[in-house]
Structure 1
Amino acid sequence: MLTKKTLMLNGQKISYLDEGLQSDPPVLLIHGVPESSMLWKHLIPEIASLGYRTIAPDLPGFGQSDRFPYTSSWENYLRFIDDLMEALAIEKVHLVVHDWGGLIGLRWACDHPEKVESLIISDSSLVPGYKWHPLARKWQTPGVGEEVMKSMAANKEQWMTNMKDEIPSVEEAILEDFYSVFLTEETRNVVLELYRSANRQLIEPYQELCKIKNPVTILWGEEDPYISPEYAYQTREQQFPHATIHVIPKTGHFIHIEAPQQVIPLVKEHYQSVLHVKKTV
């Protein structure tokens, strides 16, 4: 059973999962919106069993982590990754990202390519020409986004039903953890602030991801309603030409909790290939 730990970081409580030996190579898993570290519930024990320390934070404002006492902007989440790694005495990581966790984690990787041992990217992309999905565009629109968030918060039962329709096999405890971001106006604003913080200055460095030559695996849900699998192939073509792509049949956006039995072998394959590369270098 996974148990969240807590640490104080810049005066705020941060909740996180941390499995494996501290001496093991670290894997940092970064979730998206509206998620928490529990997105990785099924993957963490499997990765740890291969001899890796697996660390998955609740990003500030999500799960049980306090929100920033300032704007929940893209830039501040990038600094959070640096601060978290420093607090945990981590220098390099194997990075696993999903959804907005990809926009944060991969943008961080643009600034620190030397700290990225390998990458697993799932259902997350920001290639040239990327178009935000309809819900994202609503969240980005002042006034409209606030009303959408209020509506979601006002009817938790309906939100739960919708998520169970989208992820039939999901455990209710995971959804409860995800729902934490809707509980208060302050946490709801975390989502709006994050989506509204996207700007060209942050997007342009994504062109430099091709400098990362370490192993990259791209995992995607075949029927993702938010980010089409076409972006998996565009990501490989424009950013990681050496990447391996796996599209999981008949799955949506939340593949790690929708089809863990299909995702886990691919994740294990990735880390076994990383070990092979290290042995042959």
Structure 2
Amino acid sequence: MPPPPPAAAAGRGRCRCALSFAAARDRCFSRRFLRAGLRPLAVPVPAPAGAGADPAAATVHMWVPAPGPPRNPLLLLHGFGASATWQWAPYLRPLIAAGFDPIVPDLIFFGSSSTRLPDRSDAFQAAAIKAAMDAIGVTRFGLVGVSYGGFVGYRMAAMFPDAVRRVAMVCSGVCLEEKDLAEGLFPVATIGEAAALLVPRRPEEVRRLVRLTFVRPPLIMPSCFLWDYIKVMGSDHIQEKTELLYALINGRQLSTLPKLTQPTLIIWGEQDRVFPMELAHRLNRHLDGNSRLVVIKNAGHAVNLEKPKDVCRNIIEFFKEAVDEVANGDDKV
């Protein structure tokens, strides 16, 4: 989800800003990644078996640690909204200080990642990210997924259980079923409405999204800032992102969702209105004793942005368990 725009004097209509706040903020986040010791990398990904022989059917842009063997690689997958840097910048220094090496890709059709192939499934996203991880020489890692990134991460953990050691899911409604929309569990009743909500094209749509995802949204969101954000961060691949949502939700059933074998941490904002708490409990039941649920109070769907310290602390504690077990000679988690 996009970060809340700053409070400022309200304007009417499409007011004109001399400078692009969104572009300046984007550069600021990139500098934070560079200062944290990460570098940007564009990784060509070949087509999967059966999809042709194109050696670069997709390109995954990712931020990776400086050259050298990673200590404890931790893959961070973002949700819908701006590129990965906007969503993960607050987590870099705490994770690095705790002994982890963050690896932060843009999912396909976000940031600078793209593909020429027509596949829009979460399985394709998972395979592309796994291929990129293989390309940089990281074959075993922990995984954290936020919202849509959790859907991709869950699928990745199911497809590649030998590579993904542990999984943290942050407000990711992987247990939703398409029928949940019509039955009123969500603020939307159709996939089309969900796409209009998560891929906003006008300031009023951004305002609705921010107010749904944050417990304390900014009181004032001037149209000029919102138009600027849409132009800089939200105007690319609109059709493709809409197709991602259709592929994700259309025909989805809990009965076809695999159960992960890895230890799994579920983190949820108590007041999440995009993916209500029912989905957190549903996922916890689905994993049948192989997971733990942490509920963050006074937070909504954007819990990773509203309560980054709380979320980061729980992530560190959970993945530290795996580090301690390896140190004690148990490398089975």
TM-score exceeds 0.5: yes
Look at both structures and tell me which one has the larger radius of gyration over its CA atoms.
Answer: 2
Distance 1:206 1:176 in 2: 39
Distance 1:271 1:145 in 2: 33
Q: 1:29 aligns with which of 70, 76, 83?
A: 76
Distance 1:123 1:93 in 2: 21
Q: CA RMSD in A?
A: 3.4
Distance 1:203 1:129 in 2: 6
Q: 2:33 matched to which residue of 1? A: 2
Q: Does the 8 A contact of 1:223 with 1:253 survive in 2?
A: yes
Letter in 2 for 1:6: L
Distance 2:118 2:187 in 1: 21
Q: 1:84 aligns with which of 132, 135, 157?
A: 132
Are 2:170 and 1:118 equivalent residues in the alignment? no
Q: Does the 8 A contact of 1:26 with 1:90 survive in 2?
A: yes
- Identify if the C-alpha distance between structure 1 residues 32 and 118 changes in structure 2 by more than 3 Å, giving closer, same or farther: same
Q: Deviations over 1:85-139 (max 9, x none)?
A: 122111111010111111111112112112121111111133375735657754x
Q: 2:324 matched to which residue of 1? A: 276
Distance 1:277 1:151 in 2: 42
Matches within 5 A, 1:136-155: 138=190, 140-141=191-192, 148=196, 152-153=200-201, 155=202
Gaps of 5+ in 2: 1-31, 46-55
Distance 2:60 2:173 in 1: 26
For these two proteins, the number of residue pairs brought into alignment is 267
Q: Does the 8 A contact of 1:27 with 1:94 survive in 2?
A: yes
Q: Does the 8 A contact of 2:81 with 2:199 survive in 1?
A: no
User: Normalising to structure 2: TM-score of the pair?
Assistant: 0.69
Matches within 5 A, 1:1-281: 1-3=32-34, 5-10=40-45, 11=56, 13-19=59-65, 22-38=69-85, 39-63=87-111, 65-71=112-118, 73-74=120-121, 75-127=123-175, 129=177, 131-132=180-181, 134=186, 138=190, 140-141=191-192, 148=196, 152-153=200-201, 155-156=202-203, 158-162=204-208, 165=211, 166-167=213-214, 168=216, 182-184=234-236, 187-198=237-248, 206-209=257-260, 212=261, 214-280=262-328, 281=330
Gaps of 5+ in 1: none
User: Normalising to structure 1: TM-score of the pair?
Assistant: 0.80
Distance 1:60 1:221 in 2: 26
Q: Does the 8 A contact of 2:170 with 2:304 survive in 1?
A: no
Q: C-alpha displacement at 1:236, in angstroms?
A: 1.7
- Identify if the C-alpha distance between structure 1 residues 134 and 150 changes in structure 2 by more than 3 Å, giving closer, same or farther: closer
Q: C-alpha displacement at 1:80, in angstroms?
A: 0.9
Q: Deviations over 1:14-67 (max 9, x none)?
A: 33223476431211111122243131211222112222211111112112x143
Q: Does the 8 A contact of 2:74 with 2:144 survive in 1?
A: yes
Q: 2:28 matched to which residue of 1? A: none
Distance 1:91 1:62 in 2: 24
- Identify if the C-alpha distance between structure 1 residues 50 and 56 changes in structure 2 by more than 3 Å, giving closer, same or farther: same
Q: C-alpha displacement at 1:275, in angstroms?
A: 2.1
Letter in 1 for 2:117: Y
Q: Does the 8 A contact of 2:74 with 2:103 survive in 1?
A: yes
